[in-house]
Amino acid sequence: MGGSLVGVGVGPGDPEQLTLRALRVLRQADRVFSPTIALDSLGRAESIVRQADSGIAVERLVFAITGDDDARAAAHSDAAALVVACLDAGEQVAFATLGDPNVYSTFHHLAAAVLERRPGTPIATVPGIMAFQELAARAATVVLDGTERLSVVSAVDGADALDGPLGDPEAALVVYKGGRHLPEIAERLEAAGRLDGAVFGELLGLPGEQVGSVQDHRARPATYLATVLVPPAIRS
């Protein structure tokens, strides 16, 4: 049948964090797509790829960021139609995505919509460095040791997402998509006795980057590209 689709993680922001494998796959692809909110808007993943190799031509796929399920499904379907046309022409298609393609990425939505239209399409992923890994490194925070556990939550709908994981003192907690709720997240950590040692990273590897304690950044909402990392309260 020809044609294959690969989701390529490009890391959180710094082009130096694009892996050798990711760069090779992007260079070898016939077409490289990346998500954006509008055709004339440079997405983060595209920007990283451009900085890593300006010879790679990145084409934009528009994904709706609205909460409206129908609008999102329509965007996935339109994007899939474009990709399927390339696959039908026998092309190897790569999709560059921020961080890792298997963690909170649009890639699996695209892959599912492609498979619906074109069952049997070979789909693969290339892992990428995740934002919380970069935050741990930058803030010199050991995430896990011994038998400790890790919870990763999305706080897009607010700080309630922290309540379950905070009940486990031997688990580290990563909070994604909670930038706008940062003041409430800090309150929730404080109430659980977990503010000490909690670190914050915003726009990691990108212009305007901020790294520091949650305590120092809790006064205002942050941007969407913000991550909180809370080490376990009891260390093994």
Ligand X SMILES: C[S@@+](CC[C@H](N)C(=O)[O-])C[C@H]1O[C@@H](n2cnc3c(N)ncnc32)[C@H](O)[C@@H]1O
Measured at the CA of 100, the angle between CA 94 and CA 105, to 5 degrees, comes to: 80
Choose which of 36, 105, 121, 125 interacts with ligand X (CB under 6 A): 105
Neighbours of 170 (CB within 10 A): 14
What is the Cα–Cα distance from 204 to 228, expressed in whole angstroms? Answer: 12
Binding to ligand X (CB under 6 A) within 150-179 occurs at 176-177
Contact assessment for residue 125 and residue 25, using Cβ atoms and an 8 Å cutoff: no
Q: Which two tokens stand for residue 169?
A: 């003192």
User: Smallest distance, Å, CB 145 to ligand X?
Assistant: 22
Contact assessment for residue 27 and residue 56, using Cβ atoms and an 8 Å cutoff: yes
> Which among 46-54, 136-144, 183-191, 225-233 is the span making contact with ligand X, rule CB under 6 A?
225-233
Q: Give the nearest residue (CB) to ligand X.
A: 99
Contact assessment for residue 228 and residue 151, using Cβ atoms and an 8 Å cutoff: no
In the complex with ligand X, which residue's Cβ is closer, 84 or 100?
A: 100
User: Smallest distance, Å, CB 200 to ligand X?
Assistant: 9
Size of the site for ligand X (CB under 6 A): 22
Measured at the CA of 97, the angle between CA 150 and CA 110, to 5 degrees, comes to: 100
In the complex with ligand X, which residue's Cβ is closer, 87 or 175?
A: 175
Interaction between residue 13 and ligand X (CB under 6 A): yes
Choose which of 52, 58, 203, 230 interacts with ligand X (CB under 6 A): 203
Interaction between residue 206 and ligand X (CB under 6 A): yes
Choose which of 35, 99, 165, 231 interacts with ligand X (CB under 6 A): 99
Binding to ligand X (CB under 6 A) within 115-144 occurs at 130-131
Interaction between residue 232 and ligand X (CB under 6 A): no
- Draw the binding track, 59-98, toward ligand X (x: CB under 6 A; -: no contact): ---------------------------------------x
* Amino acid occupying residue 188: R
- The neighbouring-strand residues paired with 62 are 36
Q: Report the candidate in 18, 154, 38, 41 with the shortest Cα–Cα distance to residue 94.
A: 18
Measured at the CA of 56, the angle between CA 17 and CA 39, to 5 degrees, comes to: 95
Query: What residues line the site for ligand X (CB under 6 A)?
Result: 12-13, 98-100, 103-105, 130-131, 176-177, 201-206, 224-227
